[in-house]
């Protein structure tokens, strides 16, 4: 059974390889940074010659292919009964005109098309109709409505024209791996039937439009590897059917992770790495019961500035098979139980304040003293607390005691220092400072013991 399954998977992989190698493909390098294969078309034979270099590339694409298969299966959960929309014959004619004009306006915003991909988009002769004239990248339904636009890896340069919002029945929209610049048109939020939006690997700027939260049929959203800035819009929490969310490698993306993302109960893959996000991991992520992969690390929610502790609610994610929180500023104990017991220390590297399994740092380790004393002083991490805790660290070195030492049972290092200082001061100066009554009691007890 195992051999049969392995053989069928190998057959599927090579079939997929044959398909992929007819087009430029993207690869994941050893540093997990998405790059592209050599910029040329390659035949199956040529790709076979390059298999030593492109094996990881093809495996990565195959994994994405499998994920997309699950994605298309998940579309069945999204209600989109277009038959409820009544369309007369005259309306249909108008729709055809509007959609054709929308595509031509989009073409007009393209400044470079070196491969002539859009040369078929013309009003002359047989090709005057997007659906029957063979317009490249266009998909239509039986009524002649445009339902898909796929111009992946076409080497296009230009801007995304807001006219695409007039393709009201559009479902997949893929403009990835091109050189589109400018902002993402907020008008795309009108596309209520949009199921997949893929703009990765472009040069898009400005913020992620909050209006995308109105595309409530979205199952797949990928805006990674762009120059987007601003913050994550909380409105993305309205995308209740979302299966895949990729917003990684956006270095200018700042601010906290909206707790509203915890409403995405169908979310299975979440990639937020290589951004400049701040704040803590929302405890509401514990509601993402379908989540299998959570990247908050160097390449998928790492290299951020996330702080605070790892929410214990994440242990409720029993489907989680991959976790990466590395290279942040997380602190405190790592949650235990269920799938968290299976994650390696690679999931947490670069967080100097974390402790517990699987790290070698125990949660009562001496190195955690600065954090304990800083919180004890001000109740939160502050510059003032840093100065105070530095003095406590020096004191620990002199006394060879930890904040969790048995000597502090029933008290704390702060109170212990005050008590010790008071007794030494009395012994040296033979008189009481500060609170006379309290000091006199201390002095009396010292004399009795003496």
- Identify the sign of the CA torsion 373, 377, 382, 384: negative
Residue 81 inside a domain? The answer is: no
Task: Mean pLDDT check: name the lowest of 77-81, 107-111, 215-219, 425-429.
Answer: 425-429
**Positive or negative torsion for Cα 94, 98, 99, 100:** positive
Q: Which of 301, 332, 363 is the last residue of a domain?
A: 363
> What's the rounded Cα separation, in Å, for the pair 104 and 111?
13
Examine the domain organization and report whether 247 and 120 are in the same domain. Answer: yes
User: CB of 245 within 8 A of CB of 267?
Assistant: yes
Give the angle 283-285-289 at the CA atoms, nearest 5°: 135
Q: Do 322 and 235 belong together in one domain?
A: yes
Q: Are residues 144 and 234 in the same domain?
A: yes
Please report the pLDDT score of residue 410 as a whole number. 45
Residue 381 and residue 269 share a domain? no
Q: What is the pLDDT of residues 175-220, one digit of tens each?
A: 999 999 999 999 999 999 999 999 999 999 999 999 999 999 999 9
Does 166 share its domain with 314?
yes
pLDDT tens sequence across 345-397: 889 988 888 999 999 888 875 444 444 444 443 344 555 455 455 565 566 65
pTM of the predicted model as reported, rounded to 2 decimal places: 0.66
Which of 304, 339, 363 is the endpoint of a domain?
A: 363
pLDDT at 161 over 80: yes
Same domain, 242 and 329: yes
33 has a pLDDT exceeding 50: no
Does any domain span residue 2?
A: no
Question: Is the bond leading into 53 cis (omega within 30 degrees of zero)?
Answer: no
Q: How confident is the model at residue 99 (pLDDT cuts 50, 70, 90)?
A: very high
Give yes or no: residues 62 and 179 share one domain. Answer: no
60 and 164 belong to one structural domain = no
In this predicted structure, the answer to whether residue 450 has a pLDDT above a threshold of 80 is no
Q: What is the pLDDT of residues 227-249, one digit of tens each?
A: 999 999 999 999 999 999 999 99
Q: Are residues 185 and 300 in the same domain?
A: yes
Give residue 88's pLDDT: 43
Question: Residue 70 falls within a domain, yes or no?
Answer: yes
> Domain for residue 83, yes or no?
no
Distance (Å, whole) CA 440 – CA 233: 61
The answer to whether 192 touches 80, Cβ cutoff 8 Å, is no
**Pick from 23, 88, 8: nearest CA to 58:** 23
Q: Domain of 398? A: 364-409
- 184 and 296 share a domain? yes
Q: What is the pLDDT of residue 312?
A: 92
pLDDT over 90 at 40, yes or no: no
Q: How many domains does the chain have?
A: 3
Query: For residue 67, what pLDDT is reported?
Result: 52
d(CA 181, CA 201): 11
């Amino acid at each position: 059974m195992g051999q049969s399954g392995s053989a069928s998977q190998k057959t599927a992989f090579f079939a997929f390889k044959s398909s992929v190698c007819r087009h430029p493909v993207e690869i994941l390098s050893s540093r997990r940074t998405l790059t592209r294969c050599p910029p040329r078309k390659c035949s199956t034979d040529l790709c076979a010659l390059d298999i030593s270099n492109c094996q990881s590339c093809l495996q990565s694409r195959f994994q994405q292919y499998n994920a997309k298969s699950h994605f298309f299966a998940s579309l069945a959960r999204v209600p989109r009964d277009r038959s409820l929309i009544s369309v007369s014959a005259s309306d249909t004619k108008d729709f055809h005109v509007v959609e054709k004009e929308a595509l031509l306006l989009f073409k007009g915003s393209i400044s470079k098309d070196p491969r002539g991909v859009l040369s078929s988009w013309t009003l002359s002769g047989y090709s005057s109709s997007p659906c029957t004239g063979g317009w490249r990248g266009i998909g239509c339904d039986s009524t002649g409505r445009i339902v898909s636009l796929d111009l992946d890896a076409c080497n296009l340069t230009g801007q995304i024209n807001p006219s695409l919002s007039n393709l009201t029945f559009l479902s997949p929209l893929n403009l990835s791996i091109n050189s589109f610049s400018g902002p993402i048109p907020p008008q795309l939020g009108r596309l209520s039937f949009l199921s997949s939006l893929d703009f990765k690997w472009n040069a898009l700027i400005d913020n992620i439009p909050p209006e995308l939260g109105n595309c409530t049929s979205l199952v797949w959203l990928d805006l990674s590897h762009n120059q987007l800035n601003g913050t994550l819009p909380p409105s993305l929490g309205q995308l209740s059917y979302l299966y895949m969310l990729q917003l990684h490698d956006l270095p200018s993306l700042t601010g906290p992770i909206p707790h509203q993302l915890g409403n995405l109960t169908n979310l299975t893959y979440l990639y937020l790495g290589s951004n400049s996000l701040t704040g803590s991991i929302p405890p509401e992520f514990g509601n993402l019961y379908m989540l299998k992969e959570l990247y908050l690390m160097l390449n998928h929610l790492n290299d951020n500035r996330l702080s605070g502790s790892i929410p214990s609610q994440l242990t409720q994610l029993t489907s989680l098979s991959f976790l990466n929180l590395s290279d942040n500023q997380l602190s405190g104990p790592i949650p235990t139980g269920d799938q968290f017991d299976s994650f390696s220390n690679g999931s947490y590297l670069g967080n100097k304040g974390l402790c517990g399994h699987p790290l070698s740092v125990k949660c009562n380790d001496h190195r955690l003293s600065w954090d304990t004393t800083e919180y004890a002083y001000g109740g939160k991490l502050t510059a003032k607390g840093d100065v105070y805790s530095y003095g406590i660290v020096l004191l620990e070195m002199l006394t060879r005691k930890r904040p969790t030492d048995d000597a502090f049972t029933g008290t704390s290092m702060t109170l212990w220092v005050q008590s010790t200082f008071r007794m030494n001061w009395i012994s040296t100066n033979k008189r009481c400072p500060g609170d006379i009554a309290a000091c006199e009691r201390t002095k009396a007890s010292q004399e009795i013991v003496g």
